[in-house]
Amino acid sequence: MDGWGSWENGKGFCLGINYNRKVSTNIWLNSGIIFQRTLNDYNPPPTGLPTSTVENIETRMLRIPLKVKIDFLKRFYLRTGFLIDTEISNKNETGIDNQSGIGYALGIGLNLKIADTFFLKY
């Protein structure tokens, strides 16, 4: 048989602090720091012999977002920017590559004002 192993995303946990600064009437700068912990399962490639799934492989990351948010049409916004990821620990011997790197984010959303100081964002 021929093929590769596969990864299945498992449970995850994120905790962080964000900082937003308004630089003009509709432009915001956003940054912060986020701790992320994930558990994943690895299914080895088929070999014709019995194999077992390696479960709960833990990876811990620190993520630093550097983004710009642009408000438009009163309730909508566009957010784009970079994520700088640093792997803190990868407690396994299963061959996961280092997950540190730089990523790009792009999103569009909706602001719903509930009170003067409370917003719901989608």
- Residue 41 within a domain: yes
* pLDDT tens column, 16-33: 999 999 999 999 999 999
Q: Average pLDDT, whole number, for the chain?
A: 84
Q: Are 68 and 93 in contact (CB under 8 A)?
A: no
Q: Are 65 and 105 in contact (CB under 8 A)?
A: yes
- Percent of residues, the chain, with pLDDT higher than 90: 46
* pLDDT tens column, 83-96: 999 998 766 555 67
**Is pLDDT at 1 greater than 50 in this prediction?**
no
Structural tokens at position 45: 């490639």
Q: Are 113 and 122 in contact (CB under 8 A)?
A: no
Question: What gap in Å lies between CA 73 and CA 62, rounded to an integer?
Answer: 34
* pLDDT tens column, 35-75: 999 888 877 777 777 777 777 778 889 999 999 999 999 88
Q: How many domains does the chain have?
A: 1
Question: What gap in Å lies between CA 65 and CA 57, rounded to an integer?
Answer: 25
- Residue 1 within a domain: no
- Residue 38 within a domain: yes
Structural tokens at position 8: 């299945």
